[in-house]
Each structure stands twice: as C-alpha cells, then as structure tokens.
Amino acid sequence: MQIDGIVAIVTGGASGLGRATAERFLRGGARVVLVDLASSAGEAVAADLGQAARFVAADVTNEADMIAAVDAAQQWGGLRATLHCAGRGHTMRVLDREGQPGSLEAFEGVIRTNLIGSFNVLRLSAAAMARNEPLADGDRGVIVMTASVAAYEGQIGQIPYASSKAGIVGMTLVAARDLASKAIRVCTIAPGVFDTPLLARLSEDVRASLGRSVPHPARLGLPDEFALMAQQIVENPMLNGETIRLDGALRMPPR
C-alpha cells in the first residue's frame, strides 16, 4: 500500500514516536488524524503540521472516543492505516523494599492503557477498514501496533509494562490471522531505546550510557527510524502477523 493519498490514524501523535510517524506519513502524501489525550499538545501539533493533519482528543481505552477518531478519518475517505503508538509505563516491583505486594491498581492501569487500549484501537480500526474496497495490492487496510523489547527482556521494575507489551506481541499473529479474510494486515514494532520525550528527562550521562548499550549503531534510536519502519510495514504487502524488533541488536540486562 502506497501512503500517498491514504487516510491514516496515528495514536500518541502529539509527541515522540507518534509525532515522528505522523510527520513521515504527511511527507509521503497521507492525510493524518492525530489522536492523543485532551491534555496533550495535539491541537498545536496538528496546526503546525498543516491542513493534511487533524487532531482528535481521545483516550485509546475509551470506546466512544476512538469511534469519534475513526469517524473523523472516515470523513476524509476510507481509513487505510492505523499506527498505534500511544502507551504508558510505570515502575513497580512484585514486592517493594518492605516486602509489601505491588499495587494491583497500578498494574491494572498499565494493562488497561497498553493492552486493552491496543485491542480497542485494533478492533475499531479493523471494523472501518473492512468496509473499504481492496486496493490494487489486495489490502483493505494495515494496522501497526507498538510493543517493546521489554516484551522479551523486561527488566526489574518493569512487570506491568513488560506484561502489557508481551500481550501486544501475543495479539499480533492472532489478529493477522483473524483479519486475513478481510484483507487487513497487522504487524507490531518492538522498539529498543529511542530518543523520546520520556528519555529526554534523563541526564545526558544516563542517555549516553543507554546509547552505548546498543551493539550497533551504538546510540539511541531516532523517532524517524521508528516511523520509517511503520511506513515500510504499510508499503510491503508481505509483512503480516510479524513483530519486528527495532533495537540495533540490543538485549536488555535484568536491571
């Protein structure tokens, strides 16, 4: 599927990996609905990106919010690509320093945003795409979700985050098989350490150390490199049901 002329949704589009993905798709000629929380800078980002971008305030776990976002894309024509970048983390151990159990509420919150939110975006996007006429390559639509290398090598303190991302990895092949009859492809990107606003809060020394932990290239990943991978998934008709690690051969240590 060529991105020129398509309509796409990018969740988490106000910053980080989502914004870079929106920018790349806009440069390629797509029209993009940016989805992010009402408290985000999404409105200003969409205005900055031009008339081919539109912002819809939405919580990815909320059915009505995401229906509104999909409807906004449908107003521009059939939704063809969804790039789901929204997510959150939370540091928590199974037991704290005093031996008390970790917060069930905190664990549930991360699972709700990252895993349940991903399914909500997946199912509502697929319902809209299934109504499209197939393109020349046979696709009706493509959905790209975001996991993490933590799905495979979660570190101490990452139990809610790693669990949620592992759930997305487990969802990917099943969804691709399920939606094959509708000619909708599903893939997931599992990034390593990327230069996002979250890492920008860390000191330069810590950021440099994280970059050196990557075998090659020995640096933090660039958001546009994530966006490039998303574009390549959309454009390559044989990429389906796959979770692609984008990590420079990084394998995370226990801590």
Ranking 104-113, 192-201, 242-251 by mean pLDDT, the lowest is 192-201
Residue positions counted in the chain: 255
Find all residues with CB under 8 Å of 23, minimum gap 6, and list them: 49, 224, 227
> In terms of C-beta distances under 8 Å and separation of at least 24 residues, what long-range contacts does 201-209 make, across chains too?
none
| Residue ranges of domains in the chain, CATH in brackets | 7-244 (3.40.50.720)
**Token duo for residue 176:** 């691709």
Q: Average pLDDT over the chain, rounded to whole?
A: 96
Task: Quickly state the pLDDT bin for 141 (edges 50, 70, 90).
Answer: very high
Q: Is the predicted pLDDT of residue 205 greater than 90, yes or no? A: no
CA-based nearest residue to 192, from 236, 136, 253, 134: 253
Determine whether 2 is exposed, middle or buried from the number of CB atoms within 10 Å of its CB (0-12, 13-18, 19+): middle
Residue range 227-234: mean pLDDT, rounded: 98
Grade residue 173 by pLDDT with cuts at 50, 70 and 90.
very high
Phi, psi of 53 (to 5 degrees): -115, 145
What the block records as the tokens of 98 is 């005093």
| Residue 199: pLDDT band with limits 50, 70, 90 | confident
Residue 164's pLDDT band, with cuts at 50, 70 and 90, is very high
pLDDT category at 111 given cuts 50, 70, 90 is very high
Catalytic-labelled residue, pool 25, 55, 107, 161: 161
- Band the pLDDT of 65: cuts 50, 70, 90: very high
**Mean local confidence (pLDDT), 188-199:** 90
When pLDDT is cut at 50, 70 and 90, the band that residue 204 belongs to is confident
Helix, strand, coil share of the chain (percent; to 5): 45, 20, 40
Percentage of the chain surpassing pLDDT 70? 100
pLDDT of residue 198: 75
208 pLDDT above the threshold of 90: no
Do residues 165 and 113 lie in contact, with contact meaning Cβ atoms separated by under 8 Å?
Answer: no
Could you identify the residue written with the tokens 């592992």? 166
Coil/strand/helix, residue 2: coil
Rounded CA-CA distance 188/147 in Å is 6
Q: Is 152 a catalytic residue?
A: no
d(CA 75, CA 81): 14
